[in-house]
Chains A and B, each alone.
Chain A
Amino acid sequence: DAKTTQPTSMDCAEGRAANLPCNHSTISGNEYVYWYRQIHSQGPQYIIHGLKNNETNEMASLIITEDRKSSTLILPHATLRDTAVYYCIVRGVNSGGSNYKLTFGKGTLLTVNP
């Protein structure tokens, strides 16, 4: 699996957009970008994933650069409850290999301040 690089921590003001970057410069054409988050004392929670196109759901937006070497997760109006560790993960699209599992790094601790 391609490795990802994320900042260790970020701060954001409540009500503002939180933009979390992720570098995955060695990503291959058959790998998705996934985002999960983990609120303190809970298990990780799926947020969003994408392959090439930008994606949006009720939780967040995912912007993937044209060369796919980096992406940004956007929480449009961050709330205090969005304080969590955010993990950017790449995962292969093909069946077989080890594409069934997620490989987590250390993620970014996002702190939303009042």
Chain B
Amino acid sequence: GAGVSQTPSNKVTEKGKYVELRCDPISGHTALYWYRQSLGQGPEFLIYFQGTGAADDSGLPNDRFFAVRPEGSVSTLKIQRTERGDSAVYLCASSLTGFNTGELFFGEGSRLTVL
């Protein structure tokens, strides 16, 4: 498809486990974002990639969270030693450029539930 693709759409895991969430952005988009959305809240910024590099990771809550984008396309958000508070919808977005007027295109999200 032409949109941002995220997998898995749903992930249920146990406390303490490791989780990977994948984002496949729109082809040619150099900017990629991860957001997290808790119930009843707006999306919260986590990290921004421009190409392969993380230009801003100020939103990552702690060092259990890490994201990569090794070839400047697909990105993986990695969460170690998951906690119940990590339960949320993780949204990925891409943009043609990182410039301020660029529209962000969002995927449908990966819903993570930590039991």
Do A and B belong to a common assembly? yes
Shortest C-beta distance, B42 to chain A (Å), equals 3
Establish whether residues B33 and A43, one from each chain, have CB atoms under 8 Å apart when the complex forms.
no
- B31 is an interface residue with CB less than 8 A from chain A: yes
Q: Given the interface contacts A32-B101, A91-B100, A95-B100, does A45 sit within 8 Å of B42 by beta carbon?
A: no
Q: Are B42 and A43 in contact (CB under 8 A)?
A: no
Interface size on A, as a range, is 20 to 34
Tell me whether A43 and B109 are in contact (CB under 8 A): yes
Given contact pairs A43-B93, A92-B100, A107-B42, A100 touches B106 in the complex (Cβ within 8 A) = no
How many positions in chain B have a CB within 8 Å of any CB in the partner chain? 29
A26 contacts the other chain (Cβ, under 8 Å)?
Answer: no
Q: A102 interface residue, CB < 8 Å from B?
A: yes
Q: How many A-B residue pairs have CB under 8 A?
A: 60
A42 to B43, CA, bound (A): 12
CB distance from A62 to the nearest CB of B (A): 14
Q: Is A99 an interface residue (CB 8 A)?
A: yes
Measured in the bound complex, the distance between the Cα atoms of B62 and A13 in whole Å is 45
Docked complex: B1-57 residues within 8 A CB-CB of A: 4, 31, 33, 35, 40-45, 48, 50, 55-56
Contacts A43-B93, A43-B106, A46-B105 given; indicate if A101 touches B45 (C-beta within 8 A): yes
State whether A87 and B42 are in contact (beta carbons under 8 Å apart), knowing that A100-B31, A101-B48 are contacts in the complex: yes
In whole angstroms, how far apart are the Cα atoms of A60 and B56 in the complex?
A: 32
A-B contact pairs, 16 of them (CB 8 A): A32-B101, A43-B4, A43-B106, A43-B107, A43-B108, A44-B43, A44-B104, A44-B106, A46-B104, A49-B101, A87-B42, A95-B99, A98-B56, A104-B44, A105-B42, A106-B40
